[in-house]
A and B are shown apart, each in its own frame.
Chain A
Amino acid sequence: MFLFEYLMLIAQAEFPIDAGTLLNLIFLILFLLFIVWGQRIQTYIIMKDIEFVLRRINMMKDEGRKISLEKLKKHSSVPDPSGFLDRVLEYVVIDPVSLDPSGIIWKLDYLLKMAEDRLKGEIKNIVPQAKENERENISNIVEVAATLNLLYRVVRHYYIMGKKTGNSIIIIQLQYLLPEVMMQADALMGALYAYSYGHPIGDGSGALVAANLAHPREFKTTGRDMEICETELEGRRLTVLKSKGPGATVGYPGDATQGLLQKRKYDLVIMVDAGLKLEGEKSGTVFEGIGAAIGGIGTEKYKIEEVVVKRKLPLYGIIVRMSIKEAITPMTEEILKGIEKATARVKEVIREKVPEGGKVLVVGVGNSVGIW
């Protein structure tokens, strides 16, 4: 009641100008304001969008560090591995010089292997009691946390640079990239949890197809982080390759395939991998192609293409479609169904293209986390 009486008192007071004039005045002020400072206001609004995304990525980055630290502490031989972790999160691989591109593949291959060896070696020193697959998972968790850390630093760099210089071109470009940045950060968060628990991920599609073909036979370790199994399909001899499970690793299918093809004769090589779908396409659908079905930086693909071209071997690729997020987060039901279809399709292709008594090499490409 008090409030009503108070409002009535205000209403009875006499205002110097009427409402219409005041509104016109406000509109005039706003009009002039937008003419003079329109761009500045727009830039300010965009900066707020970027700040929002930056805050989210910062939280994701902190979560990544927290999960990595928890995993390290669980098995650690040192009381506080946070110093080690902070150092590892900033590791970089310095690109080899590309002015003379001849031989760059081997340099890159060497550098990547060295970077992996260093990370795995240091993690082994910190968590010597952990099992091999747990160490592989920890390495992957740390790598994901490092990627989130890099993403945060890059977005923050352009945000601060845009703010410092007031350069709307930098700010607008960053704003256009924000949805993709968020998509990537979101996918990385999913990967963090998947590696943390040891869930199979969408990228493991190729490895799971290989495991399906080999089951119930067991795989044997071959080369660096790879496994091999000799099996049969209706009179055809199958050599199945996949990365070593159930720890998180993609192995080096290029090295393993090259080694095998140099020593043995095959009638057909089939590669199975997860492939990024285009927007609007259904996850878990299977498509086929000719060539090396393998992603990554290109070193493994190069090795396979080199040996296949030299031997003039038919090389088929079978791919399970999925989004970037599905590729690095726990496997969904649709992708699992896609893997069943891909396994069936591999068998069909072998029956169609290879006569009884023939030899086939099947390479299941992808991360074997959560897959035997």
Chain B
Amino acid sequence: MKHMPGNESGERYDVSISFFFFLLGFLTFISISLIFSGFTSMQDSYTLPGSISLGLGVLGLVLVGYNLWRMQGRLSVAARGQLGPRVVTKQKCRSCSHEVTRPFKEGDFIYGNGDACPKCGSGEPMLISAIFLHKPARG
């Protein structure tokens, strides 16, 4: 879905929290089974396979705990992800056509007056030719 044409942003709005918890539940069940099987193996003196099962089971439970902790963190900041969009202001000098792009400042508007030109120093404010949301290049 991420690389479908027209979905360049890769945004998704499906709420998959149930599936996430189902997976966590499944992992918990497997981990408990592994711990239990590890104990019984150790009881039958299969110390190495028993320890491996036990270790994997404990690791599974740790993973479940970590994911729950991460989920809790995500829930508390969910609404704050939108803050600080990278909006930039593009200015063009009326005398020398030199273009300068800088972060947006409150009070900027398209076809309004910008800063003084740093190149020709004419003193006349540059024309704000565009204001847009700058998306950083994907790595």
Contact = CB atoms under 8 A, between A and B. Distances in A.
A11 B110 contact: no
A45 B18 contact: yes
Q: Interface residues of B toward A: which range?
A: 35 or more
Contact of A372 (B15, B36, B112): B112
A7 B54 contact: yes
Nearest to B32: A26
A49 B131 CA distance: 38
Contacts of A353: none
B15 A178 contact: yes
A197 B104 contact: yes
A19 B17 CA distance: 32
Contact of B13 (A49, A180, A189, A246): A180
A268 interface: no
A332 B18 contact: no
B78 A372 contact: no
A137 to B, nearest CB: 10
B88 to A, nearest CB: 10
B91 to A, nearest CB: 14
A279 B109 contact: no
Contacts of B7: 279-280
A223 to B, nearest CB: 21
Nearest to A60: B79
Interface residues of A, number: 60
Contact of A182 (B13, B21, B40, B134): B13
A334 to B, nearest CB: 8
Contact of A336 (B4, B50, B107, B132): B132
Contacts of A336: 130, 132
A156 interface: no
A332 B135 contact: yes
In this complex, the member of B4, B17, B109 whose beta carbon has the largest number of chain A beta carbons within 10 angstroms is B109
Contacts of A281: 6
B78 A59 contact: yes
Interface stretch (A50-58, A89-97, A299-307, A341-349): A50-58
A217 to B, nearest CB: 11
A265 B59 CA distance: 79
B13 A190 contact: no
A48 B25 CA distance: 15
Given A52-B17, A186-B82, 8 more contacts: A15-B43, A190-B85, A199-B87, A200-B109, A332-B132, A333-B134, A372-B109, A372-B110
Interface of B: 4-8, 11, 13-15, 17-18, 21-22, 33, 36-37, 39-43, 50, 54, 75, 78-80, 82-83, 85, 87, 104, 106-112, 130-135
16 contacts: A11-B41, A23-B33, A46-B18, A48-B17, A49-B17, A52-B75, A55-B78, A182-B15, A186-B13, A189-B82, A190-B82, A190-B85, A245-B109, A282-B6, A333-B134, A335-B132
